[in-house]
Amino acid sequence: MKLYINIEHLTKEIEYPQRYQSQNLIKSSVIVFLIILAFLLLFKPFGVYDPELRMHYLLICFFHALTPALVLLTYFGILNFRKAKNQIKWTLLKEYIQIGILLVLIGTSSFLMRDFLYNNPNNSSWNYFLEEIRNCFVAGIFFYFFLRLSSFYFESKKGSPFVLQFIPLAVEPERKILKSNIFINTQVKQDNFNLNIDQLLFAKADGNYIELTKSNGNQITTEVKRISLTQFETQITDYPHFFRCHRTYLVNMFKVEKVSGNSQGYLLSFNETNIKIPVSRKQIDSFNNYYQELRSKYIA
């Protein structure tokens, strides 16, 4: 099934970002389930008294891994829906609070399963309730920061977006007043140049050079500059609507008019030119999420 969407400069609601956000949450929940299951089977981190087991230990591990995945899927699914609907600003403190609430919910769910999993007359005691909450916080906090460090590592590698994404934004960025004309420094001083960033449609890498394709009214111009695409990208980080959609392309998301393609890759179209810019297959999820992020920041 092919995808064909009219973006219209990010001013209209479209369906695929929400759908892909849900897909990412499902993927993340499945990965969490598999990691927890493997962890429980390999290390048996918490004490288990075999005569109390109502079923094989493998099944008990299965239910203990399934419960956090389902709670995570439900909780963050509702949270993401509320954030998208109400435009809730996200901060790091709010993220920690939500993680704490999630761990309490998981611990409570594990406690409520005890009668189903274990033969113990004290299953409903406060001691076991507090023990389940404690175990969830011990394992959950370690797991959360492991995911955070992994996320930073993968996000630092171009073209390798990290799949475990539960919360839309960790920190609400500070809004800046951005200038249209910026000065770009190159490795050779005499090649430094001024650029009207609002006119830029996209930049294409060509070795240690880049081709800048700009639109001024109905006139399309292309300039070659002596600077790598990565170096150029680092100098326009204050302009969040530029996205590295491909190893060789950096695109102005505000200028994109249409998106066509499928899970193998997208093609981006502009009003001003017939040139189409590819979005690589491994950047599709990042592109969809980034589009949604821009909408939440810049569309009232």
d(CA 233, CA 273): 23
Whether 263 and 274 have beta carbons less than 8 Å apart is answered as: no
Q: How much is the average pLDDT of 107-125?
A: 90
d(CA 102, CA 109): 11
- Name which of 254, 248, 256 is nearest 283 in CA terms: 248
- Which stretches within the chain are classed as H helix? 16-43, 57-86, 92-112, 114-117, 126-155, 229-234, 284-298
* pLDDT tens per residue across span 54-103: 898 889 999 989 999 999 888 887 776 555 545 455 566 777 888 889 89
pLDDT of residue 164: 43
Q: How much is the average pLDDT of 146-153?
A: 68
Decide the pairing of beta strands 200-206 and 209-216.
antiparallel
Assign 21 a pLDDT band (cuts: 50, 70, 90): low
Assign 273 a pLDDT band (cuts: 50, 70, 90): confident
Assign 299 a pLDDT band (cuts: 50, 70, 90): low
Q: How much is the average pLDDT of 4-23?
A: 46
Whether 215 and 255 have beta carbons less than 8 Å apart is answered as: yes
Highest mean pLDDT of the ranges 3-7, 170-174, 273-277 = 273-277
In DSSP terms, 193 is beta-bridged to 184
Say whether 296 sits in a helix, a strand or coil: helix
Burial class (CB in 10 A: 0-12, 13-18, 19+), 169: middle
Using CA atoms, how far residue 98 sits from 108, 139, 167, in Å, is 15, 16, 9
DSSP character string of 220-252: EEEEEESS-HHHHHHTTTT-TTEEEEETTEEEE
What proportion of the chain, given as a percentage, has pLDDT over 90? 23
- Name which of 244, 166, 180, 257 is nearest 216 in CA terms: 180
What proportion of the chain, given as a percentage, has pLDDT over 70? 75
Q: Is the pLDDT of residue 201 over 50?
A: yes
* Residues 6 or more apart whose Cβ sits within 8 Å of residue 75: 98, 101, 102, 105
Does residue 265 come out as left (phi exceeding 0), alpha (psi in the -120 to 50 range) or beta? Answer: left
Question: Hey, what are 269's tokens?
Answer: 């179209």
Q: Is the pLDDT of residue 1 over 90?
A: no
Assign 187 a pLDDT band (cuts: 50, 70, 90): confident
Assign 285 a pLDDT band (cuts: 50, 70, 90): confident
pLDDT of residue 14: 37
Q: Is the pLDDT of residue 5 over 50?
A: no
